[in-house]
Structure 1
Amino acid sequence: MAITAGLSGAGRLAAFCVGKNPLANCAKNQYNRIVSLNISMNEVLLMPLWKRTLAALLLAVMMILPFASAEDAGEAVPDDSVEWTEGAANITRDLTLNDEGDDVSALQTALTDLCYYSGDVTGRYGEATKTAVEDFQRDFALAVTGMADKATQEAIYAAEYRPLRLGCVGEDVRQAQIRLMALGYYTGKISGRYLPATQEAIRLFQTANALPITGEADVQTLERLFSGDAISRDSSAAATPTPSPTPGMHLSDETTTPTPAPTVAFVKKLQYNKSKGEEVKLVQTRLTELGYYSGNISGNFLGHTRNAVKAFQQQNALSVDGIVGENTWNALFNDPDVRAATDDPKPTPEPTPVPFAITVDVNNQVTTVYGRDENGDYTVVVRQMLCSTGTRKNPSDIGTFTLNGRTARWCYFPEWGSHAQYWTRINSSIAFHSVIYNTVNTMDLSVKSYKNLGKRASHGCIRLTVADAKWIYNNCGAGTVVTIRNDMPADPELRAALKLPSLNTKNMLPYVTPQPTAEPDYRAGTMPPQPFRTLKVNSSGEDVYWMQRKLTDLGYYSGKCSGTFLAGTQNAVKAFQKANSLSATGTADVKTLKLLYAEELSATPTPEVTADDRTPEPLPTPAAGQ
């Protein structure tokens, strides 16, 4: 199924869907094949006439079909029941060692996305590609041959995750750790390394979500982890006692006892006008027993069933949406404290704290995600990313907004005929999303939109790199507060620290940049790094970082403490010098630094020399013969 959804800075959004009609899908496949593989016109002309006709008809329909307006101020959003996916690759041959071609490049790109392959996308099937294919085949129970036959290629292009286990390393491990932290299962370091603490966090997640408890993040576990149905630790804590830690285990969080398997296991989501069958009959029967439903046990999920589900959800302190998801199913069949229609309503539980808040800084073109500190305030910087906000002609909306959870894997902007990935709605006019694509094809990136990150360039939305847009899409759900500001001071140190990587045009992804070194260990009130040296614009090092932190503590500096001396640091030094009757040069000479650290220097006592510490007087050398 092909889907497009779009939005504009003026608030016009449109969605477009080709349905499950096999004829339409066949024509769409021909269209996608031409667009995504750049097939020549000669090859198009050699297609059977019926395929050319269907493709042409579909293109004509796509150009003339009016965009339907939706219920939210003209906004149209993709149907939640539709899975947003890219078209399957066109597999024409088995691939093996020393093969070359665009299909090898496509295979390498897919293996890179799944974190099996870390080399360059060369289009040549070398040893590294063979090893990556073998690892994939091993993980997915395929014959380990190192050859990408049709079955292996189909599995690679269909896979969204690689299974993760103890010892795995990569960005996918890092994203899993971030998601586990957001759900309350992991409190360790976001390292990208699957170590025992991550393994234990996966066990806890599997326990709370009624999955097989293995400690390995298999595909089933990862699908649940990154879905909207993932149960957080806080949601399951009330019914799950916490035992004493196992002796000898030193993990970064606590462990919990396994949750008993549900009495009636959840199978799938049930919803209005889309579900029918035995599961619906079970729900109707149970709702009848509890006094919410008086219709026929038909197995058809229609209006009366939906109204009964809503009434049940309201009475049992659940989210009232009329959909039987896992939480509603378990409340119906597996909750010993389930409330019937004639019972007192169940008290509304304390809401789970939203893990993140987002600030978009228009002046610096930086989006910052904050986590909660020990007081529950959003002060801990989790992620900072260059962005493109609206131009001065089409500015981004300024103010505070709350995400409602609406997302789309791909979106379409009909007013400009362009696309983007990982769309997360902010309000009826704007959203977070990736840089721009000309078609629904990851190789058809608008390089200009990527190079414009860090500048005002959008029609009001907040553009990000694909990785950053995906992070928000996966981790910032309904209830996340987004503040868009245009009153923050210039911060050249921050912008320099977030320098945009060069784009690898072979796979249209940024080159991987080295992980930043750990921040120096600054401790207020302790002796600063010495000997002092004169610090000025473009100086860098631990002593610059300490000076920035000290100026921050004293209220002279509000920028990023990066360890690099740029204009923001220079202005802070000038302000300190002026306030302390020094020549305001903006250069931190030794005199300035001694005054800056006067308290630390005076508070460090000179050690007293005791009698025991003195060097003993040498004894006279005895005369010969004595």
Structure 2
Amino acid sequence: MRRILAITIAAATALTLAAGCDTADPVADGPATPSPSVSAAESSAPAASPSVSPSVSPTPTLPAKPKKLKSGAKGPEVLALQNRLTELGYWNGKADGKFGGTTQQAVFALQKAAGLGRDGTVGPKTWKALEDGVRPEAKSTSGKVVEINLKRQLLMLVDDGRITQIFNTSTGSMEYYEQEGQTYLADTPRGKFRVSRQIDGWRNAPLGLLWRPKYFNGGIAVHGAPSVPPYPASHGCARVSISAMNWMWKNDALPIKTRVWVY
């Protein structure tokens, strides 16, 4: 029978700082924290109503009667989609008129912010969210902060309370897993931290590979991964796409000592 360690939430949080993180699907990094005191019901609780800030006005660049778009689509409507996502702050790389994985990641982020189904397809409701200028709201009010919203599964770069970039992220799955005879909970602890170390390349951690990780809470990091689904799937880290992580490094978006607020 699998043995779940009987520890308190406080002890679990303390252990997390020394443990590692990520993913149950399909790449991973260091181990999470033994914290079986968190109930399974928490991992399946419905998300709160979206808190959005439609601060960007509708744009005339969107098609008058847009068609449904999904991964693999090409053409001027995709280009309009990409430009609008970029205008709203959803990181989308360079607009090229091709609906690939990077565009899908941005669509996931928009759908999360708008409280829509996270299917990565741009239908009528997603087009409306684009037209309405839906954006999440920041919690921090001063300085440069990386905010990780666990309910919305969004990672945001914030400058003096203004969100500059929004990314799809996948954090701890809140499921149990075993490593070296012990049972751990794959959680991403809430709190305020700072980026303390980084590795410019692949990190072969106990649970798998992390691309260019930026550690902010012991073994828990923001890092690139080949798989970033629109739901919590990691062992504790905040996953973003490989291309998004490369952009963060290139633009020095998460330098050492950057504040990270997980809530």
TM-score by length of 1: 0.18
Determine which structure has the larger strand proportion and give its number.
Answer: 2
TM-score by length of 2: 0.41
- Bigger radius of gyration, 1 or 2? 1
